[in-house]
Amino acid sequence: MAKSTTDKGAAKRSSETSTKGASKGPRPAEKAKGAAGKPAGRASTRREFERAKSVQPVGITGKERPHDIITQMFPAYVGRQERTAYELMRKSALEDHCVFLTLSGAMTPAGLHQSSLIPLLERGVIDCITTTGANLYHDAHRVIGHGIREIDPNAGDLQLRLARVIRIYDLGFWEETLLETDKLFSAILQRPEFQRKMTTPELHYLLGKSVAELEDALDVKSPSLLATAYRYGVPIFVGAVQDGSIFLNIVKLRRLLGDAFKLELDVNDDVFEMGAMQHHCFGTLGKKMAIWILGGGVPKNYTLQGEPLLDQILGVPTHGFDIDLQFCVDPVDNGALSSCPAGEGHTWGKVSAESVQTGSVYVHCDVTAVFPWLTYALLSDPRVHRAPRRLYDARARAVAALDAEVQKRRKKLAPTLTYALPAPRPIEPLPGEVATAKRAPKKKKGATSGKKRGAAAKPKKGKDAVARKRK
């Protein structure tokens, strides 16, 4: 269900999306129709059914490989969704897809990065990450010696607040943990290398470098996600960077230090850079792409919107994601972006028709309940190991290449900059402004208007002039 791929010259927001995808062959339902377009008969339907995989699990002995358990013992329901996700993860790794991983929520407090994500980075499976500020901020707690503990979610929040214990469902940590982590990021962000305008991958690369140095100094055994991404050249995007505690400390630094604190985040270049990364993968490297969506939210759409940015906004033909798999608890019928399945994404030009049919799945589950197990099965295969692609090192080249493609299309894009807007209405003064105007002092008698300050009034002619002379 959750897929994403767009062909070259990919779909527009209009109905072209479906026709382009369909041009490469009939959909499964169409294959079942006869030459006259009528539904297939009973015999052909039975033949199709007989070719389907038979459900025949065997007893588990405890000696099976993880791969065998998943592929043979998960034939139905959410179990089959898990099996399909595993098969697509395996295909992504073994066929050398560029893998974009999105991570929502606060999953680093639960240790998902330590159990699953960092091992995947170390094996070269993950090439780019989009996540939340919360995941990166809470990841730093353990680096500076603070623990996160399992607690009873029903223990009583009023008592926890009195004891200064912060709760994330069934996890807890001291309030001092937040305050110490604030000090850490405040100190790092004042370093000279941060005093300029940058994108979120640049910010998180520099933060990762500083945290990696801290880990080495403190002899930290379990590295953070920030430091590991820095070491392996994996760019980290945060789409809603202002929604998180790292940015709250940036706000504090700007207010306290004023112009001496020069860090700025360029959201325009950030969005362009995401599109450039995807264009680099399919255009320059000639690789297929996969997106692994853990949760939903902003990280999901921030990554997927690279396709309509390229094709529909900038006019640059896209290849898109060949594989799209998602783990999420949200129902797909509430209109939310988090649970938007691949077919719905296809209508926006984010996902190709081929991917909708054969390269996607929406696993209706809690990520933390499933993903570590699938990662274990995946990494049990020694072939799932490749050299890091280090997309961060290719940032400048990727941005330059996409910019060159956009400049080629300046003439074609020019009509998209205009729209027949109605003439603007005169701005009427507000009630307070009207009252102020009424109270304005009247000009003194004999005062000149419209003349330069200090200019002498011209002498009057006629009777008035004679009268003045007489006086």
Nearest to 185 by CA among 107, 263, 260: 263
Q: What is the dihedral of CA 316, 320, 326, 328, to 10 degrees?
A: 20
Is 350 in the active site? yes
The residue annotated as part of the active site, out of 3, 38, 350, 411, is: 350
Q: Rounded to the nearest 5°, which phi and psi values hold at 362?
A: -110, 110
SS3 annotation, the chain: CCCCCCCCCCCCCCCHHHHHHHCCCCCHHHHCECCCCCECCHHHHHHHHHCCCCCCCCCCCCCCCHHHHHHHHCCCHHHHHHHHHHHHHHHHHHCCCEEEEEECCCCCCCCHHHHHHHHHHHCCCCCEEEECHHHHHHHCCCCCCCCCEECCCCCCHHHHHHCCEEEECCEEEEHHHHHHHHHHHHHHHCCHHHCCEECHHHHHHHHHHHHHHHHHHHCCCCCCHHHHHHHHCCCEEECCCCCCHHHHHHHHHHHHHHHHCCCEECHHHHHHHHHHHHHHHHHHCCCCEEEEEECCHHHHHHHHCHHHHHHHHCCCCCCCCCEEEEEECCCCCCCCCCCCCHHHHHHCCCCCHHHHHHCEEEEECCHHHHHHHHHHHHHCCCCCCCCCCCHHHHHHHHHHHHHHHHHHCHHHHHHHHCCCCCCCCCCCCCHHHHHHHHCCCCCCCCCCCCCCCCCCCCCCCCHHHHHHHHC
Residues with a known catalytic role: 350
